[in-house]
Amino acid sequence: MVEEFPDIPGCCIDGLIAEGGMAVVYSAVQQALDRRVAVKVMKAGDDNNTQRFLQEARYLATLNHRHVVTIYDVGTLADGRRYLTMEILPGGDLRNRLKQGLDTRQIRTWILELADALQVVHQQGMVHRDIKPANILFRADGSLVLSDFGIAKNPHVDVELTQAGSVVGSPAYSSPEQVSARPVDARSDQYSLGIVLLEMLFGYNPYRAEEYAATLVNQLQMSVPTMPSNLKSWQPVLDRLLAKDPDQRFVDMVALKRAVPPEEGCQVLSAAVGRQDDPTLISTRSVEPTKHRVRPWSIVWLLGVVVLVGIIGLWGVYRYRIYEDLQLAQQRFRTGWYMDPAAGSALDYYHRVLARDAHNSQALAGLAALKQMFVRKVSIAEIHHDWVQAATNLRQARRVSPEDPALVTMQTMLQQEQARYEEAHRHAKGEPARDSGHHAKAHHGSSWNRFMHNLFGK
């Protein structure tokens, strides 16, 4: 069976390059100039996808940089789908290069090129929000190109674009502020770039877990891995890029480029460099006790030491119980035992930790990730108009954070959105409308999108 390609004015499509959730990319020849191009054709979808597609075209048109993909044209097919033509990048993506293994000279060059590209992006007031190996492509000459600006954000114009439930970014490369639905800025791209750098050096992404929820927890809690001795010069750069607090990252990409270590020879790294099960392992050593003659006055001192050791021992037990409960909470999170049955669930263990240490950052971050997971499920259920599932997930989110006013507002907004949808459904079937009216229906839908946009900060 011969594959049927879309008819692109002025282009002759000759193959499929890739297919994603929102678009399909074809290889083609632009006939007037006799040059090879890539044609990105949007799949049939809702208005949000159309706006994102047009947003990508507009963003790329404002960027003129060697390490940012070049756009040639944008248009509309006969069936209404949008398309854009851009330079074709035959060198594959970074995922393929990672499988082959890299050397430190390549890594240094590519990080500097990515920093150059992101410097231009950020100077235009944009945030890419999806820095990952699949979006880092290569030309035939080996030069690096940053691509896929479909979910990039301009804080000044990107008002209601993020539809409820759209998971913006890729969790394995997302910053803590992204996965916890806080506002993002250019520093979020630094964190994602840090994970890409770590993956180039290690050959794998240590923040990626088998479960989606566990990956979120890693982004919120996992410490920066310790570099092996042959890569120690990269540790200060990674410590800044992967700081959980955005204020501790670099001021901008210029500062990052200054911090990149100088080239010191060329080390060839394997596709998976020295995985450490626990990079924060602390080594211990034994010390031979010193012999002393016991004097009478030392008995009082000895009793004091015994009391002190007892206090330290109790404190150690107390801290160990917190550590143990945190480990159990994270294990429950990874296996999907979130809150039911309540006893022994992730929620239960996080509460146990907070009962002992009300300000424990790991437990608070775990609860934030748990709430965020259910909020995203609410959003996804709303997109599919599954109101029962949306309400169930919202109840779960409120169990995690019962005092969160945003969740109270979400419940009201969700009820309004359900009423709007059901009213529109009745209207489509020709049934008489209720009191809400057409204007209210449109207003509610707009309000829900605006509310979710503000909640997710995207």
Q: Which residues pair with 29 in a beta bridge?
A: 12, 36
Q: Which residue is catalytic, options 14, 34, 103, 130?
A: 130
439 Cβ neighbours under 8 A, 6+ residues apart: none
What token pair was written down for 16?
Answer: 């499929």
User: C-alpha angle with apex 208: 344 to 355, nearest 5 degrees?
Assistant: 30
- C-alpha 177/C-alpha 219 separation (Å) is 9
Instruction: Using DSSP bridges, classify how beta strands 71-76 and 82-87 pair: parallel, antiparallel or unpaired.
Output: antiparallel
436 burial type by CB count under 10 A (0-12 exposed, 13-18 middle, 19+ buried) = middle
Nearest to 456 by CA among 217, 73, 129: 129
* Residue whose structure tokens are 């109270």: 408
Nearest to 457 by CA among 179, 258, 70: 179
Contact status, residue 57 vs residue 71, Cβ threshold 8 Å: yes
- C-alpha 82/C-alpha 41 separation (Å) is 6
- Count the Cβ atoms, other than its own, within 10 Å of residue 72: 17
Nearest to 192 by CA among 138, 151, 154: 151
Q: Is 357 a catalytic residue?
A: no
- C-alpha 365/C-alpha 376 separation (Å) is 16
- C-alpha 181/C-alpha 458 separation (Å) is 8
Give me the numbers of helices (H) and strands (E) for the chain, helices first please: 14, 7
Catalytically annotated residues: 130
